[in-house]
Structure 1
Amino acid sequence: MTPRQSVWGTLLGTVVSACALAYAQVALPAQPLLSDYALVNGGLVPVLIGMLALAGACLCLAYGLAGADPARTAATRVLLLAGAAGLMMSAIFPTDPGSSQVGSLSGEIHRWSAAVVFTSLPVAGWTLVRGRAAMPLWNAVRAMSVASALTLAAYLAAHPATITSPLINGVAYYGPLERAVVLAEMVLIMVMALASAAERPAMANRTAPAKPTSETAGPEEERIAA
């Protein structure tokens, strides 16, 4: 897979995931959380496609970063692989019915796998952009990393399983907040791919050896040029 293919794979996987989950949202009966659509008739396939396609996008991005800047992006790639693994586990182990109670091993695995996904991707974006120059695409990665983390914090505070939910009437809006977290992290993944792709030509120009000119060339170079 070439660097360009890794970028296109990341973008395509994210778009396929968004379309699959949007189909479940529009075509199926309303559910509190996106993973709950897997429990209704006709919802398992789009939810599986959405989770696995986003996992593939994370893997493509990690592969592209490994080829572009392996030393600097090691932590980012580990977090992306953790996010991909969490998405796969969430797809394999469905959630339990209900918003706040987990009654099976499958539901418990699903909950913790989703927690890994939601937390690892914003941190991956932040580790990737750490120490980068203030360029537009890197600034977009910074902004989306912070936005994803803040939205996740609001979602966790509003979720009925938390002690803070009754204090802020979180049951009324924790579903939209979960969808906002998913959307923010999808955008983050795509921006990370675009930013890393835009930096590769600049890195290639910095590392390419300069050709000797007539002023700097030694006697041997001048003789060969003549």
Structure 2
Amino acid sequence: MRGTRNSGLLALGGIALAALLAVIGHVAVNEDLDPWTLTISDFAVSDRGGVIDVAMIVLAAATAVLLPALWRTHAPPANRAGRAAEALLVAWSGGLLLAAVVPTNEPGLPMDTAAYVHRYASVVAFLALPVAGWLLARRLPDAAARRVRALVTASLVLAAAMIWSAYPGDRLLLGLVERLLILTEVAVLVVVAVALLRRVTPARAA
């Protein structure tokens, strides 16, 4: 289907643009910030309204582009899982948008209400996408499904490492772990978008 193929192309283009903007944001931001221990949100708040915030919005939009194509690929036995996956992708996109609009606190300052909103919006996004990916894997060809499940497993391990680092680990390599987590989760979107680009119409039962 042409619409499905176009959605895959637009999503991949949006993901690539978001990645480019994120890299630019890291290069252009204050060089005193440490990417090994500080999160992407810490970088974004130091350049409020800058390219990292735009990158988050573009990534949310790229995900939203996939939704109509996923609706068209529903096989009847997979409808329930498909709808759940799409709802979780909406949660991921919404969490990204909210995190982009509502900033965290400056590094080293006490958390305020906005910072808590930002944190929990990010948590929702980070947790929603892996579950969505696992559900979507049921509707992908075997090779793509294996890739998605491997990425989801890696993302859950990294999420656990991030929680450890943020609390008992005293932020040890927190920035690095978070960036690896985001890479694995975005890779899930890439695999799904490529499957749509190849005009895959899954028919596997849930």
**Band of TM-score, shorter chain:** 0.7 to 0.9
Partner deviation per Cα, 1:187-215 (whole Å, 9 max, x = no partner): 11111222344463576xxxxxxxxxxxx
- Is 2:42 the counterpart of 1:36? yes
Tell which deviates more after alignment, 138-147 or 69-78: 69-78
Aligned amino acid, residue 53 of structure 1: V
Amino acid across the alignment from 2:39: L
Q: Give unmatched runs, 5+ long, in structure 2.
A: none
The residue number in structure 1 matching 2:23 is: 22
Letter in 1 for 2:50: V
Matches of 1:199 and 1:73, distance apart in 2? 17
Q: Which residue number corresponds to residue 149 of structure 1? A: 156
d(CA) in 1 for partners of 2:19 and 2:184? 11
Aligned to 2:85: 76
* Structure 1 residue 6, shift from structure 2 partner: 1.0
Post-superposition Cα deviations, 1:35-64, rounded to whole Å, max 9, x if no partner, equal 1222224x5321221110110111112221
Structure 2 CA distance for partners of 1:174 and 1:94, relative to 1, 3 Å: same
| DSSP 3-state at the match of 2:50 | helix
2:95 pairs with 1:86: yes
Flag the 1:195–1:108 CA change in 2: closer, same or farther, 3 A: same
After superposition, give the CA deviation of every residue in 1:87-126 in whole Å (9 maximum; x if it has no partner).
11011101111268412x2111101100011110111100
Q: Does 1:62 align with 2:67?
A: yes
Structure with higher Rg: it is 1
Residue ranges of structure 1 left out of the alignment (5+ in a row): 204-226
Maintained 8 Å contact 1:122/1:149: yes
Match of 1:52 in 2: 57
Distance 1:152 1:100 in 2: 24
Aligned to 1:174: 174
Q: In structure 2, which of residues 116, 120, 128 is the aligned counterpart of residue 120 of structure 1?
A: 128
Aligned length: 193
- Conserved? CA contact 1:138–1:195, under 8 Å: no
Mapped contact 1:83–1:116 kept (Cα < 8 A): yes
State the alpha-carbon separation in 2 of the partners of residues 132 and 58 from structure 1: 17
Indicate conservation of the 8 Å contact 2:5/2:197, yes or no.
yes
Instruction: Give the aligned partner of residue 195 of structure 2.
Output: 195
Structure 1 counterpart of 2:146? 139
TM-score (norm: length of structure 2): 0.84
Contact 2:5/2:199, CA 8 A, preserved across alignment: no
Alpha-carbon distance, 1:132 to partner: 5.7
1:184 correspondence with 2:150: no
Structure 1 stretches (4+) deviating beyond 3 angstroms? 130-133, 196-199
Identity of aligned residues (%): 27
Aligned to 1:3: 4
The answer to whether structure 1 residue 108 and structure 2 residue 109 are counterparts is no
Offset of 1:139 from its aligned partner?
1.1
Change (3 A) 1:171 1:55: same
Question: Match of 1:200, SS?
Answer: coil
What TM-score results when the alignment is normalised by the length of structure 1?
0.77
1:137·1:194 contact (CA, 8 Å) conserved in 2?
no
* Aligned-pair Cα RMSD in Å: 2.2
